[in-house]
Amino acid sequence: MSIILETRGLNRSFGAVTAARDLNVQIESGEVVGVIGSNGAGKTTFINMVTGYLPPSSGEILFEGKSIVGKSTREIIRKGMTRSFQVAQLFPEMTVLDNLLIALVAAEGPRPSFFSGLRSKSRVARADEILEEFAVQQYRDAIVSAVPQGARKLIDIAMALIGKPRMLLLDEPTSGVSVEEKFPLMDTVMLAVRRHKVTVLFVEHDMEIVERYVSRVLAFYSGEIISDGAPAKVFGDAKVQELVIGHGHGRKTEEKERSAA
């Protein structure tokens, strides 16, 4: 296995707040890594740095062995690392099909007229294949804003995979998704990432999702990684139980109470 993403001595401060402290991580190709931590632990700061949204205060980030510090998000996407956000980044007033067609055209690179031939037969056929792969065909002609949250997330992730990234970072893929939808959604996502042979790193507050889907967990607390390893090892760590899981389960319980209300 080769290392796809590595950080060395990565630090980030905001004034007096240290949001990332000496982060040294190596992610192997093909791993599915869950990033956990209570609110303010530094998870988003870490993801923002590796995807080029936030410059580190110091340290190194290597993607497939090459430094990406100082590269723009666009350059990092072009190199093969894509990110999907907590809130699906779709055009809400357009149909699902048109969103996919636009993503397909964008992935083809610059062209003289972006919209000419947008609905070509071959592109529509490709969009239909993607809708089927992600089990969201029923929403093909629906306006995005009328599509349920779980399906929207799937479409967003499907669009992120169109550019054939080798690494995908997901920000809370199941947040805002109903309890009934979350496992089918993750099953579909995991099938797709395995089929596309994509390395995945995702931030998640729902410990049931982390336990079920990841091969490795990074537990953050106060800007540091306090535990790194297989889920059984990390979840069995007394520090993680005290500082992370207590908060995670607290939040999950609140969500359950909200959805039951």
Ligand X SMILES: Nc1ncnc2c1ncn2[C@@H]1O[C@H](COP(=O)(O)OP(=O)(O)OP(=O)(O)O)[C@@H](O)[C@H]1O
The C-alpha atoms of residue 238 and residue 197 are separated, in whole angstroms, by 34
Residue type, 44: T
Counting contacts by CB under 6 A, is residue 148 touching ligand X?
no
The least distance separating ligand X from the CB of residue 39, rounded to whole angstroms, comes to: 3
Q: C-alpha 119: how far from its chain's center?
A: 29
Q: Determine how many CB atoms are found less than 10 A away from the CB of residue 115.
A: 10
Counting contacts by CB under 6 A, is residue 207 touching ligand X?
no
The least distance separating ligand X from the CB of residue 43, rounded to whole angstroms, comes to: 4
Which of 9, 17, 24, 138 is the binder for ligand X (CB under 6 A)? 17
Output 41 or 161, the one with its CB closest to ligand X. Answer: 41
The C-alpha atoms of residue 189 and residue 80 are separated, in whole angstroms, by 18
Query: Of 199, 109, 111, which is closest to residue 163 (Cα–Cα)?
Result: 109
Measured CA distances, 91 to 84, 115, 132, 137, 190 (Å): 14, 15, 20, 18, 24
Each residue 29-48 as x (binds ligand X by CB under 6 A) or -, in order, gives: --------x-xxxxxxx---
Q: How many residues bind ligand X (CB under 6 A)?
A: 11
The least distance separating ligand X from the CB of residue 259, rounded to whole angstroms, comes to: 19
Residue type, 183: F
Query: Of 154, 163, 214, which is closest to residue 184 (Cα–Cα)?
Result: 154
Residue type, 125: A
The least distance separating ligand X from the CB of residue 202, rounded to whole angstroms, comes to: 12
Counting contacts by CB under 6 A, is residue 114 touching ligand X?
no
Counting contacts by CB under 6 A, is residue 182 touching ligand X?
no
The least distance separating ligand X from the CB of residue 77, rounded to whole angstroms, comes to: 21
The least distance separating ligand X from the CB of residue 86, rounded to whole angstroms, comes to: 9
Output 39 or 116, the one with its CB closest to ligand X. Answer: 39
Query: Of 211, 195, 208, which is closest to residue 249 (Cα–Cα)?
Result: 208
Part in contact with ligand X (CB under 6 A); list of ranges 11-19, 123-131, 233-241, 252-260: 11-19
* 20: its two tokens: 């990332």
Q: Which residues of the chain form contacts with ligand X (CB under 6 A)?
A: 14, 17, 19, 37, 39-45
